[in-house]
Structure 1
Amino acid sequence: MIAHIAGDAHRLQLSVSAITDQGGRASNEDYLGMIDLGPKGFCCTLADGAGGHGNGALAARLTVDAVLGGYRENPMFAPASLASLIFRAEHTVSEEQPTSASRMHMSATVVLLCIEPVSGRALWAHWGDSRLYWFRDGKVHRMTEDHSVVQQLLHAGMYANEDPRSLPNRSVLAGAVGAESQVPPTVLHESIELMEGDAFLLCSDGLWENLHESAMEQALQAAERPDVWLQEMAHVVRSKGRPHQDNLSALAVWVSANPTPN
C-alpha cells in the first residue's frame, strides 16, 4: 500500500509505504506509524522494542504513540521539537515500567522523520540502533549512527574498517527509550532541503543487519514504487533462511514533483 501526500501549498509530493514482518520470532516487537497534518507537516516513526514477556511490543507501541501524539499536538518543525518528541516517549515508557515487574526493563529504539511540506525540508532523530538512510541519486547520501556499544568501540579505534554487522555484541545498546542510557538521542541540527528523487528508509535492525547498503541501493534503482522497494529488500532478507530472523520493519518515503498546481 502507498500513501500519496500532496497539497496545493506543498512544494513536493511524498509517497509513503511500510512493511513489518515477524520473521522467525514468537512475536513482533516492532511498531511503526505516520501522521499527515497537511501543510502543518508530516511525521513518520518506527520503534523496535525489547524487554521480554511481550513487553517489548508494548514499549514500541507506547513510543510510537507518544511521538505521533506529541507531533499532532505541536507540529513544530525544529530540532528541539524532535528532541521533545523522543523525551515524551521516554517519559511515557518510564511511567509504565513500575506498573508491573515484567515491565521494569522494557525499552525501545526509535527513529523518526519529520517533513515540512510547504518549504520541502526534512529533519530526523533517533535513539538506539533503528536507522534512517537518506538516498539521493539512488545512492546512500547520509545515514544515522547507531547508539550501540560496538559503535562506541569503533569510535575508540577498535575494529578498524570492520562492518558492525559482523562484530560480537552488536545488539548491545548504549541508548534507547526506557533504558539506562549512556548516550542521549541524536537529532539533526539543521534541516535539509529535499530534492525530487530523494528517498528515505527508516528500518529496524532486522532489516539492515541482514542487508548491505549496496543491496538497498540496487533494489531502489530497480523499483518503480516504494512498496516494491520494501518488498524486494524484505525478500532478500527472507531468502537467507535464517531460522531466528529478527522482526523486520521499514518505512519508505519517496520525494517527487507535486502534481497539484500551486
Structure 2
Amino acid sequence: MTGQAHPCAQSSLALVHHSLSHKGDRSYNEDAYCHVRDKHVVSFAVADGMGGAAGGAQASHLAMQAVRAAVLTLDPEQFSAQLRAMSQRIQDEQQSNPRLRQMSTTVVELRIDTYAQKAVWAHWGDSRMYWFRATELMAMTVDHSVVQSLVSAGLLSAQEARSYPQKNVLLGAVGANSEVGPDVLAAPVDVASGDAFLLCTDGIWNCLAPEDIEASLKRSGSVQAWVTDLMDQVERVGQGSNDNFTATGVWITSDGEQTLLLR
C-alpha cells in the first residue's frame, strides 16, 4: 500500500508512507497494519498477533479496528486509555469465544499532528518504532520482553540478546493478562521535514539491526524503496525460517515528493 502526501493546511507537514506485510515461511500471517486520518492527525499502526492462525489474526485485526475507531489525540493519558480499551475489547472477545481464549497481540502506533508539527507514539509488546532524523537514529521503542529486561539490567549485551533462547517471551501485550501496560511517549515531540519513521514487527528487527535499517534508509531514494529493501533483506537473511514480517515507513517531506531531505 502506498500513500500520497497529506497536506491539511498551508503550514502543515507533508507525509508519504508505504507498508508491506509478508507471511514469511509460515502458512498464515498474524500481522496487520493500518493508517487512518482524523482531521489533521494521522495515525500509523502495526500489530503482531499471537494465538495461532485464527486467534493471532483476529487479535491483530481487532487492534487495527480499534485504531481506526479511536479519536486521534496526542494527549498521552488519553492515548494510553485508548490502548487499554483496545486490550479490553480483545479480552471481551476471548470470553465470548473459547476458541480465541489464548489470543493477544503486540501493537505500535505513531500519531502525527501535521498542523502542530508534533508526534507521539506508543507500543505494547515487542513491535517497534524507530525515529530517524537526516538518517541518524534518534529514538526507538523499548520492547516489553524478558530478553529486553535482561539487557536493560546489564545482564545481557545487545549482541547476546539476538540469540537468546527466550527472546520471544513477552512481559506485556494487548489482550494479555500482564502487569506491564502500554508505553506512551510522555509528551509530543517536534517533527520536521527530513524525519523518517519505521514501524515494524519482530520479524523485521530479529533479522536487521538498527544500523542495517539506517544503512538502508541512507541508500533509498523513496519510502517505497526503503520498505521494499528492508523486506527483501529479511527474506534473504531468514533463509527459509522467517516469521511473519511487516513494515510501515513514514517520511516527512517539504512538499510531498517521494524523496527524503538529507543533510
TM-score class normalised by the smaller sequence = over 0.9
The DSSP-based 3-state class of the residue aligned with 1:114 is: strand
Letter in 2 for 1:257: S
The DSSP-based 3-state class of the residue aligned with 2:92 is: helix
Given that 1:50 and 1:57 are in contact with CA atoms closer than 8 Å, whether structure 2 keeps it comes out as yes
Q: Residues 161 and 220 from structure 1, CA distance in 2 versus in 1: closer, same or farther, beyond 3 angstroms?
A: closer
Structure 1 distance, partners of 2:115, 2:172, is 33
**1:81 maps to what in 2?**
78
Structure 1 distance, partners of 2:188, 2:233, is 33
Query: Alignment length, in residue pairs?
Result: 256
**1:104 maps to what in 2?**
101
Given that 1:2 and 1:227 are in contact with CA atoms closer than 8 Å, whether structure 2 keeps it comes out as no
Given that 2:207 and 2:238 are in contact with CA atoms closer than 8 Å, whether structure 1 keeps it comes out as no
**1:217 maps to what in 2?**
214
Q: Residues 161 and 52 from structure 1, CA distance in 2 versus in 1: closer, same or farther, beyond 3 angstroms?
A: closer
Given that 2:9 and 2:115 are in contact with CA atoms closer than 8 Å, whether structure 1 keeps it comes out as no
**Percent identity (aligned):** 35
Q: Which moved more, 1:75-84 or 1:219-228?
A: 75-84
Superposition pairs of residues 1-262 of structure 1, within 5 angstroms: 1-39=2-40, 41-70=41-70, 74-258=71-255
Specify every segment of 5 or more residues in structure 2 that has no aligned partner in the other structure, as ranges.
Answer: 257-263
Structure 2 distance, partners of 1:158, 1:43, is 36
Structure 1 distance, partners of 2:160, 2:68, is 33
Structure 1 distance, partners of 2:222, 2:100, is 39
Q: CA deviation at 1:240?
A: 2.1
The DSSP-based 3-state class of the residue aligned with 2:88 is: helix
Q: Residues 161 and 249 from structure 1, CA distance in 2 versus in 1: closer, same or farther, beyond 3 angstroms?
A: closer
Q: Which moved more, 1:145-154 or 1:240-249?
A: 240-249
Q: Residues 169 and 241 from structure 1, CA distance in 2 versus in 1: closer, same or farther, beyond 3 angstroms?
A: closer
Q: CA deviation at 1:161?
A: 4.9
Structure 1 distance, partners of 2:179, 2:91, is 16
RMSD: 1.6
Given that 1:149 and 1:172 are in contact with CA atoms closer than 8 Å, whether structure 2 keeps it comes out as yes
Q: CA deviation at 1:55?
A: 1.0
The DSSP-based 3-state class of the residue aligned with 2:116 is: coil
